[in-house]
Structure formats: structure tokens, C-alpha cells
Amino acid sequence: MADSLLADWQPDDFQALERGVLVAGHRLAETGLFTDDALAEVFDSHPAEHLSVNTMGKSKEKFDWREGDRNGVPGDELVQMVREGHLWINCRRMLQHQPAHAEVINRLFGELESGASHFKAEDRTANLLVSSPGAWVPYHVDMPVNMLWHIRGRKRAWVYPHFDKRFASSVCLEKVCSGEWSEDVPYDPAWDKYALVFDAEPGQLVTWPQLAPHRVENLEGLNVSLSTEHKNPRARRRLNVHTGNHVLRKRLGYACQSIEADGWAAHVKQFIARVDRYAGKLFGKEKEQWTYPITFVLDPSEPDGFRLLEVDERTVLAAHEQQEPVAV
């Protein structure tokens, strides 16, 4: 394995971090940590509460993201079910639970910080994403700064203009950042003409600015990616600006349209957001983070690898109602 995990990076690549959309190379596959056997080992050793099993329906026109139950399927069988089915596996908190991966991930962050003086990766997290050939992720925003290190298979990413309220309104981002919604936000296919489209090949990194709307569709093969996330003072302030706007709108009826992360107003909103969170903890009214209900279980006998549970469909509808348009 080459000394550097970054492949052929130029100074302009480092300067683009967090400031724009960047496609660059990496050598993660050379670590041997993402083979079928290595994936199975991760699946079997990872804490169940931090391994999510999802499916998303076949039609891109209908939002149908669902959370499932692993149902005791062993790791090697789970790898094969993902290869042949319609599933999306997310192993969260890799830094805490997978030491070999954590060493490599921290090396990546170290190389990025060494190459870009403006880049600081605090509050680091990482997720291992393993998904079926036809799987897809709906239109959404990520609250931390997100970097998609693609390793196996082929996938297509649509990245929409960031900080543009046409593609994620102020109200939507306020609800996401305050925890009232998941990170999925309303989507209109007509927006695709404004998107930058990237076909990610093995060994490519694709990253974009914080809170930039995007969606992903797998094109071919078993897809394996490492999704790293981080924050820093400016990233935390950006989230607090939206949360502060949410508090002002909800508590005082004041709709603040500015989403600037710099300047005195941004620091005031950050203070408001922190006071609101502290008050929630102090008075026992802290808002729980939004989660999807469990609506299916893995089943090797089913063509797509899962079986829907008999649940009250109103719970499913409630999970998806945020996809309706929201007035600005």
C-alpha cells in the first residue's frame, strides 16, 4: 500500500475542501478492509444498535425509505443478500467500534489537515455503507460536513446548489437542524437540471459543502463506500444558525431569512440555539432525534431479501409526510 491514502491530490484539491464540490482519488481498497470477508467480519462484530438495515422501494418517484430488523442473519450471508437484494446497510460509529478502520480513517483526516491549512476535522464520525446494485438514497442534506469515499461498485450522485433556498427552503433546514425532521427534505425532479452529476468509480472521493442537497443511486455491483463526517467551529455555527432561526420562528413568530454563518448575527443565533437546548435539558423537554419505525425484517427466502411487517401504515405515512412541500 502506498504511504499516502490520497491518490494524486493537487493543491487545488485541498483548497476545494468544504468550499465546493470535489472529486479526487484515494487508495482505501489497498488496505484490505473492504473485501467480502472483511465486510462480513464488520457485520458480525458491530453493535446491533449501530447497524441499520434499510430499503427504499423500487420507484424513484415515490419516497419509501424504511428501517428494518436484521433478524439474526450472519455477516457472510448478509453480504450476499445485499449483493442480490434491494438493501442498504449502514454501520455507524466506525471510529468507536472498528479499530482497524479507525486507524485508517484518522490517517485520512490527518492527511487532509496537513494538506489544507483551512481544513479542521473535529467531532469525527464515519459510517460504512454497503448497498445493493439498484439501491438508492432519496434527496437529503447532511448536517455535518460529509465526504463519500467510494470503494466498490459504481454509483451516481446528484449534488444541487448549496445555500440556495430554491432547493432546501429555510423552513426545511430549520426543521432538520433542530431535530424535528430527519435529513430527508422535499424534492422536485424538475430540480435535476440544476444539479452537478457525478458517476463515482472505485477509488474516488466525492464531497460537497455542508447542507448541500444531494441524492445517490447505485448503478452497478455491490456498492461499498465509507462516509466520513466532521464538524469544526464554523460547521457547528452554521447548524446553530438554522436552529436559532427555528427558535425565533417558533417562539417569537419571527421568520429570519438570513442563513449566513459569519458575522455578529450568526453568533447571536448560535447563542439562542444553545440556550434553547440547555433549557430543554434543564426542564426535561429535550426533543428526541427523529427516527424511522421498524417496518420490515430481513428474510433470505424473499427475492429482495426482506419481508414487510404487518404494521399500522399510518406510522409509515407519518414517517414520509415531511416529503410534502413546505411553504417558505
DSSP code, position 117: T
Contact 23, 204 (CB under 8 A): yes
User: Quick one: which of 14, 305, 321, 326 has its CA closest to 134?
Assistant: 305
Run of H or E residues at 233: helix 233-252
The predicted structure's pLDDT at residue 82: 97
The Cα 269–Cα 259 span in angstroms is: 10
29 exposure class (CB count in 10 Å sphere: 0-12, 13-18, 19+): middle
Return phi, psi of residue 125, to 5°.
Answer: -140, 165
Q: Contact 217/60 with Cβ under 8 angstroms?
A: yes
**Cell, residue 106:** 484518522
Q: Give me the pLDDT at residue 322, please.
A: 53
Spell out the residues 6+ positions from residue 188 whose beta carbon is closer than 8 angstroms to its own. Answer: none
Tell me which H or E stretch contains 228: strand 214-231
43 sits in which H/E element: helix 36-45
Whole-angstrom CA distances from 229 to 49, 139, 147 are: 19, 18, 6
- Per-block average pLDDT, block size 10, for the chain (328 residues)? 86 96 97 98 97 90 88 97 96 98 98 97 98 95 97 97 94 93 92 96 97 96 98 96 94 89 94 90 68 91 91 57 49
Q: If DSSP codes are grouped into helix, strand and coil, which group holds residue 157? A: strand
The Cα 131–Cα 224 span in angstroms is 7
With CA atoms as reference, report the closest residue to 164 among 190, 142, 191, 182: 191
Burial of 111 (0-12, 13-18, 19+ CB in 10 A): middle
Four-residue CA torsion sign, 199, 52, 288, 324? positive
Residues 6+ apart with CB under 8 A from 169: 326, 328
So what's the pLDDT on residue 138? 93
DSSP string, 306-327: EEE----HHHHHHHHGGGS---
What single-letter amino acid sits at 30? E
* Residue 158 host element (H or E): strand 145-159
Ramachandran area for residue 252 (φ above 0: left; ψ -120 to 50: alpha; else beta): alpha
CA 133 to chain centre: 19
Q: Among positive and negative, which fits the CA dihedral 309, 313, 314, 319?
A: positive
Task: Please give the pLDDT value at position 288.
Answer: 64
Q: Which domains does the chain have, with CATH numbers?
A: 6-232+289-323 (2.60.120.650), 235-282 (no CATH)
Of how many residues is the chain composed? Answer: 328
pLDDT for the residue numbered 327: 43
Which residues, listed in sequence order, are joined to residue 279 by a DSSP beta bridge?
none
Alpha-carbon 233 to chain mean position: 20
Distance CA 322, CA 182 (A): 9
Q: Which DSSP state fits 184? A: B
